[in-house]
Amino acid sequence: MNSIAFIGGGNMASCLIGGLLANGYQRRQLSVSDPEDLARKAIQERHQITAFNDNRAAVNSADIVVLAVKPQLIGDIARDLRTALKPRCAVVSIAAGVPLGALRNWLGESLAIVRAMPNTPAMVLNGAAGLFANSHVTSQQRDTVEQLFNAVGSSCWLETENQVDVVTAVSGSGPAYFFLVFEIMQRVAVELGLPAQTARELVLQTARGATEMARSTASPPGELRQQVTSPGGTTERAIETLDNGGLEDLLRRAMQAAVTRAEEMSNDYSS
């Protein structure tokens, strides 16, 4: 197994480390670097791995380096790491909106680089990640990166870098769409007379059940929806109301807005 160093010890790094340990990685193969004493202490206590306060020391012998830092910090960190990276290592960036071109300028033209767009359900081992690799990433490195994100959910390789922005709109931002729907349904259920805790449990279990149904069958979502929608019944009336209210157009505009913002963020690094 390859050694993996995480630059940044926040929630996403911690959940990826936990997933790797749960899937057979040895603690000696993993390390993390973070300038904050509390962050290093927390990750050491939780995972019992080596934690550095020096990024260059952390990556010295790493085969895979995961940049798990905020986009506004990644430029300075990447430039500092450029001469400290092990030859033929691969760098994985999970910083939203930071394009390969910028990463290549900071880290080196011939370096193996992967852009990854994970999402927050990785924290409960149900994440979804889109991955895009430059031409220097080997098949073995691709396998290792795939294992990294599959340890906390599932991942897929993308054909073009532009598709990373689409993944951002679908699964990167997607949990917030569902949380908003849950929030609204719970609030309305209470307004209609259910106790708050009952409303919460029913909404969340209904969402979980619908997801499991969709995953366990080859039937498309539209067909599953039709199975629930009896002619002249309550569901038909509700679906008609959503359609008449422009739900599809609203979601389309929301997802397009997310893609546009991701493109704007990427262009900021290209200008």
Cα-based distances in Å from 40 to 3, 11, 21, 35, 64: 19, 12, 17, 8, 20
Query: In the prediction, which pLDDT does 163 show?
Result: 97
Mean pLDDT of the chain: 95
Residues 6+ apart with CB under 8 A from 133: 112, 113, 114, 115, 141, 142, 145, 157
Asked if pLDDT for residue 1 goes beyond 90, the answer is no
- Give me the mean pLDDT over the 86-104 stretch: 94
Please answer whether residues 72 and 8 qualify as being in contact, where contact means their C-beta atoms are separated by less than 8 angstroms.
Answer: no
Whether 52 is covered by a domain: the verdict is yes
Please answer whether residues 32 and 10 qualify as being in contact, where contact means their C-beta atoms are separated by less than 8 angstroms.
Answer: no
- Kind and range of the H or E run holding 4: strand 4-7
Note the pLDDT tens digit of each residue in 5-53. 999 999 999 999 999 999 889 999 999 999 999 999 999 999 999 999 9
Give the pairing of strands 50-52 and 64-67: unpaired
Last residue of a domain, one of 161, 182, 199: 161
Can you give the CATH number for the domain in which 26 is found? 3.40.50.720
Whether 129 is covered by a domain: the verdict is yes
Last residue of a domain, one of 161, 194, 209: 161
Query: In the prediction, which pLDDT does 268 show?
Result: 87
Query: In the prediction, which pLDDT does 271 show?
Result: 58
Please answer whether residues 224 and 213 qualify as being in contact, where contact means their C-beta atoms are separated by less than 8 angstroms.
Answer: yes
Asked if pLDDT for residue 170 goes beyond 90, the answer is yes
Query: In the prediction, which pLDDT does 197 show?
Result: 98
Query: In the prediction, which pLDDT does 33 show?
Result: 96
Q: What is the pTM of this model?
A: 0.91
Cα-based distances in Å from 190 to 30, 186, 196, 242, 246: 47, 6, 6, 20, 24
> What percentage of the chain carries pLDDT values higher than 90?
93
**DSSP-based three-state secondary structure for 104:** helix
Whether 271 is covered by a domain: the verdict is no
Tell me how far apart the alpha carbons of residues 112 and 110 are, in angstroms, rounded to a whole number: 7
The rounded radius of gyration (Å) of the Cα atoms in the chain is 21
Asked if pLDDT for residue 81 goes beyond 90, the answer is yes
Query: Count of H helices and E strands in the chain?
Result: 12, 8
Q: Do 188 and 215 belong together in one domain?
A: yes
Give the pairing of strands 127-133 and 64-67: unpaired
Asked if pLDDT for residue 221 goes beyond 90, the answer is yes
Can you give the CATH number for the domain in which 212 is found? 1.10.3730.10
Query: In the prediction, which pLDDT does 62 show?
Result: 95
- Give me the mean pLDDT over the 108-130 stretch: 95
Token duo for residue 4:
């993996």
Q: What are phi and psi of 123, to 5 degrees?
A: -70, -20
Asked if pLDDT for residue 148 goes beyond 90, the answer is yes
State which residues form the domain around 72: 4-161
